[in-house]
Amino acid sequence: MKISIERGALLKAVGQAQSVVERRNTIPILANVLIEADGGTVSFRATDLDIEVVDRTPAVVDRAGATTVSAVMLHEIVRKLPDGALVNLSEDAASGRLTVMAGRSVFSLATLPKEDFPVMASSEYSSNFSASAPMLRRLFDKAKFAISTEETRYYLNGVYMHVAQGDEGPVLRCVATDGHRLARIDAPLPEGAAGMPGVIVPRKTVNELRKLLDDDEAQIAVSVSETKVRFATPQITMTSKVIDGTFPDYSRVIPVGNTRRLEVDAQEFAKAVDRVATVSSERSRAVKLSLDEDRLVLSVNAPDSGAAEEELAVAYGDERLEIGFNAKYLLEIASQVDRENAVFLFNSSGDPTLMREGSDMSAVYVVMPMRV
C-alpha cells in the first residue's frame, strides 16, 4: 500500500476514527485503525466492538492495499505535522511497518495484520430514513444531559429514540432519564421512519454521533434494526449496537395536572442559581425556590459553609410555594432553553415539576424536587 494525502484531510479522518478507540484495551488490534486504500479513496475504520466508524476520504493511491496501525499514535503524529503538509503513507509488508513521511519527518510504525481486525457484521435494517443534521443534533443534544450513569440500570444508559404520538400526529421522539430528571424531545417524523423499532442509543454513540452533525447542510441517512443503528453521511458511516433492554414507560412520570405556572428569563435564572449554589455543600447542592406573587427568592442554607439568597422578578400568579431542587439539575435544564423564557409548572413541593420553553411542547423536561 502506498498513498499520498493532505494533512488536514488525514487529521479529520483519523481523528474521527481514533475517538472511538478505547484507551485501555486487552485486545491489541482494537487499539488500531484499519487503513484500506483502493481507487482514489482511502478509508479508516476503527471499532470498540460496540461502535464502528468508517471514514472515507479522497487520496492519491499509488498502490492499493490495507493495513492496521495504532490509531492514537497515528493521530498524534498527524496532529503535530505542519499545516498543509503532504503526507505519504507506505506499507512494507515484509517488515510489518508503516512508514509515514511528511517533509523531512519520517516515522516507522508497527502494524498488525489486517485479517485480525474485527469488522462488524452487517445486518438487515428494517427502517431507513433521512434526517437533517440540525434536527438530529437538537434531538440528541437536548436529551443527553439526562442519561443515567448508573451501570446497574443499564437500560437508562442511553437515549430512547422511537416513533410516538405527539399533539399534532406522529413524531420522532428522543427520551432520556436517570430517575431524577427526564428530557423528552420531539421532531417532525421523517418520511420512511413510521415503522421504526424503538431503540436505546448508548451514551458513547450519542457523543460520537455529535461529530457527524456539525455541518448544518448535511443530510444523515439513518438505518435502524432491533439490534443496531447506523448513521451515515457520504464521508462517514457510524454503526452501533443498541442497548438490549426495555426503556420504562416514561409517560407515567410526566405530570399533566400541574397548574402553578412560573415564567422566568432562562439565562437570568440559570445565572442566579449558579451564584447561590456556590455556597451549597457539595453533597446535596440543594437550592430552595420560594415563590410569591411575581417574585422568586432563591436561597441556599449550608450550615457548614454559609448561606446565600437572590431575588428575581418573575411572572407568577398562584399561591405561595416553597420547593427545593438539586442546583445541578436546575442548571442543566435551564441551559437547554433556546428561547428567552422558561416556563415551570409546579403542583406541590413533593411532586415532579415540568419545564418547557415558552408554549413550545416539543421539548419537555421533568425534574424531581428535594427536601430542603
- Amino acid in the structure at residue 225: S
Q: Provide the 3-class DSSP secondary structure of residue 211.
A: helix
2-116 and 254-367 have identical folds:
yes
Name which of 119-128, 184-193, 239-248, 263-272 the model is least confident about. 119-128
Average pLDDT over residues 48-55: 96
Task: State the burial class of residue 83 (Cβ atoms within 10 Å of its Cβ: 0-12, 13-18, 19+).
Answer: exposed
Report pLDDT for 167. Answer: 86
Angle separating helix axes 327-334 and 266-276, nearest 10 degrees: 160
> Using 50, 70 and 90 to split pLDDT, how confident is the model at 368?
very high
CATH 3.10.150.10, applies to 2-116: yes
- Would you place residue 241 in the very low, low, confident or very high pLDDT band (cuts 50, 70, 90)? very high
Fold of 127-248: DNA Polymerase III; Chain A, domain 2 (3.10.150)
**What is the reported pLDDT for 298?**
97
- Tell me: pLDDT of 302 over 90: no
DSSP-derived letter for residue 116 is G
What's the confidence (pLDDT) of residue 23? Answer: 87
The rounded percent of the chain whose pLDDT value lies above 70 is: 100
Q: Give the DSSP letter of residue 203.
A: H
What's the pLDDT score for residue 106?
97
Q: What is the pLDDT of residues 9-47, one digit of tens each?
A: 999 999 998 999 998 889 999 999 999 999 999 999 999
The pLDDT of 204-218, averaged and rounded, is: 92
Domain ranges of the chain: 2-116, 127-248, 254-367
Going by C-alpha positions, the residue among 197, 213, 191, 199 that lies closest to residue 142 is: 213
pLDDT at 284 > cutoff 80: no
Q: Is the pLDDT of residue 281 over 80?
A: no
| Mean pLDDT on 225-243 | 96
pLDDT score of 260 more than 80: yes
- Start-to-end CA distance of the chain, whole Å, equals 66
How far apart are alpha carbons 339 and 146 in whole angstroms? 20
Tell me the C-alpha distance between 87 and 101, whole Å: 6
Residue 123: predicted pLDDT? 81
Per-residue CA distances from 263 to 195, 296, 358 (Å)? 38, 10, 8
pLDDT for position 303: 82
Q: Output b/e per residue, 241-280; b: 16+ Cβ within 10 A.
A: bbbeeebeebeeeeeeebebebebbbebbbebbbebbeeb
Q: pLDDT (tens digit, 9 = 90+) per residue, 60-101?
A: 999 999 999 999 999 999 999 999 999 999 999 889 999 999
The pLDDT of residue 103 is above 80 = yes
SS3 328: helix
Give the C-alpha separation, 149 to 181, whole Å.
13
State the alpha helices, DSSP H only, in the chain: 7-18, 71-80, 133-143, 203-209, 266-276, 327-334
CA distance linking residue 146 with residue 253, whole number of Å: 14
Tell me the mean pLDDT in the region 149-178. Answer: 95
- Mean pLDDT taken over the chain: 94
- Give, in order, the Cα–Cα distances in Å from 270 to each of 99, 232, 327, 344, 345: 52, 36, 9, 13, 17
The contacts found for 94-100 with CB under 8 angstroms, 24 or more apart, are 98/35, 98/67, 98/69, 100/74
C-alpha count within 13 angstroms, C-beta hemisphere, residue 24: 0
Predicted confidence at residue 340, as pLDDT, reads 77
pTM: 0.93
Tell me what pLDDT residue 233 has.
94
Class of domain 254-367: alpha beta
